[in-house]
A and B are shown apart, each in its own frame.
Chain A
Amino acid sequence: MQINQPISDQELFKRFVDEGKPENLFRIIMDRFKQKVYWQVRRILLLHDDADEVSQIVFIKLWQNAESFKFNSALSSFIFRIAYNESITYLKHKNRFRSFDELLDSDGHYSKSITQGSEMDGNEIALKLQNALLKLPEKQRLVFNYRYYDDLPYKEISDITGTSEGALKANYHHAVEKIKLFLELN
C-alpha cells in the first residue's frame, strides 16, 4: 500500500484500521508521531531508557487499541493520551510517584541523573531549566512541558490529562512564575 499524496492523520489511521492494520501503514503512523511521543514521554520520565521502553509500549498499545479510536478527536490527542497514561503507569510501577501533588524528584534521584549522568548534552541553559522543572509539582511540570515544548493548546492538554482547562491555566501560570523566580535566583 503506497501513500502517494498527502493524507491527514485521521484518514491515514482510518485506512490502517479498515485494511486490517497492515505494517506499512503503521510505519507511516509511527514516522509521524514517534519523535513527538518520545519527547513527551522523555520530559515526564527524564531518563532515556525509561522513555525508550514507554515509547515502544505506546505504539504497541496504539496498534492493539486501534479499533477503539472513535475519530471524534484528533489522532494526536488519542496517541498523546496513551503516552501520558503509560508514562504515569510506568512511574507508579517504579514507585517514585505517589500523587500529583508530590514532587517527582523528592529523593533527588533525577537531579543526580541529570547533572551527573549522561542524560544531558551539556547545554547549561537547558540544564538550568530542567533543574527548575524538577522543583515543580508534577502537574505544573506536565502542563508547562505540553505548553512550552509541544505548543499544545489547553483544549488538547485537557483531553490528554483529563484536567479542566481552567485548572491547567492556573497550573501553567504558577509553573511559569516559579521557573522565572528560580532562574533569577540561580
Chain B
Amino acid sequence: MEELDKKYQDNGFKVPEHYFEDFDHKVLERLREMQEKPKPGLRVWKKQAWLVAASMALISAIAYIAYQTAPVTNQEQLSFDNLDPEELIAYENEIELSEDEFEDIIPAYTIDSLYNAEILPVSYEFNEQDLQDIEEEYSALDEEIEI
C-alpha cells in the first residue's frame, strides 16, 4: 500500500445524491414483494405445464387433420387383396410361417379366393377303368425294372 501515494485513494466514482439513504428502503421493498409472491419455481412449472399441454393438443390436432386430409399413396394401397397369387405363395414360402400364423396374417377370404382360383380340382374317387390303367402302367414299369 505504501508504494502508491494516498492521494489516489479517492476512487473518483460518482454516486447519485441520497443514494445510500434510499438503499435500505429499496432492498426491503424487494424482500416484501418476494415474500408476497408465490414461489417462482412453482409458477414457472405451472406455466411450463400449460405450455406443454397446449403444445401437445395442437400437435395432436394437426396430426389428425393431416391424416384425415392426406391423399392415399401407392404404398398405402398395397394389401394382400391386391397381390398376385404367385406373390402371395412366394411370400408364404419365404417367411416360413405355420399355417395358423399365415391365416392370422392373411384374411381367410383371400386364401379361399387364391386356392379356388389356382388349384385344379382333384378327385380321389377312381373308377374301375382308372384302377386298371394304373395297374397296367405299374406292371409295365415292373417288367422294365426286372429286365
Binding site for B on A (CB under 8 A): 23, 26-27, 30-31, 34-35, 38-39, 42-43, 46, 48, 52, 55-56, 59-60, 63, 118-123, 125-127, 129-130, 147-149, 151, 176, 179-180
Contact = CB atoms under 8 A, between A and B. Distances in A.
B36 to A, nearest CB: 14
A39 B20 CA distance: 11
Contacts of B30: 56, 60
Interface of B: 1, 3-4, 7-16, 19-20, 23-24, 26-28, 30-31, 34
Given A48-B16, A148-B1, A179-B4, A56 B11 contact: no
Contacts of A46: 13
Consensus secondary structure, chain A interface:
helix
A119 B8 contact: no
26 contacts: A23-B28, A26-B28, A30-B23, A30-B24, A38-B15, A43-B13, A48-B14, A48-B15, A56-B27, A60-B34, A63-B31, A119-B14, A120-B12, A120-B14, A121-B12, A121-B14, A125-B8, A125-B12, A126-B10, A126-B11, A129-B12, A148-B1, A148-B9, A149-B11, A180-B3, A180-B4
Contacts of B27: 30, 56, 59-60
Contact of A27 (B4, B24, B34): B24
A176 B34 contact: no
A180 to B, nearest CB: 7
A126 B14 contact: no
A82 to B, nearest CB: 13
A60 B31 CA distance: 7
A130 B11 contact: yes
Contacts of A59: 27
Contacts of B20: 34-35, 38
Contact of B12 (A27, A31, A52, A126): A126
Nearest to B12: A126
Given A60-B30, A63-B31, A121-B14, A126 B24 contact: no
Given A48-B14, A119-B14, A125 B28 contact: no
A56 B9 contact: no
A52 to B, nearest CB: 8
A76 to B, nearest CB: 18
A120 B15 CA distance: 9
Given A34-B20, A35-B20, A148-B1, A56 B26 contact: yes
Question: What are the 8 A-B residue pairs with the smallest beta carbon separation, nearest first?
Answer: A126-B12, A123-B12, A121-B14, A129-B8, A59-B27, A176-B3, A30-B24, A120-B12
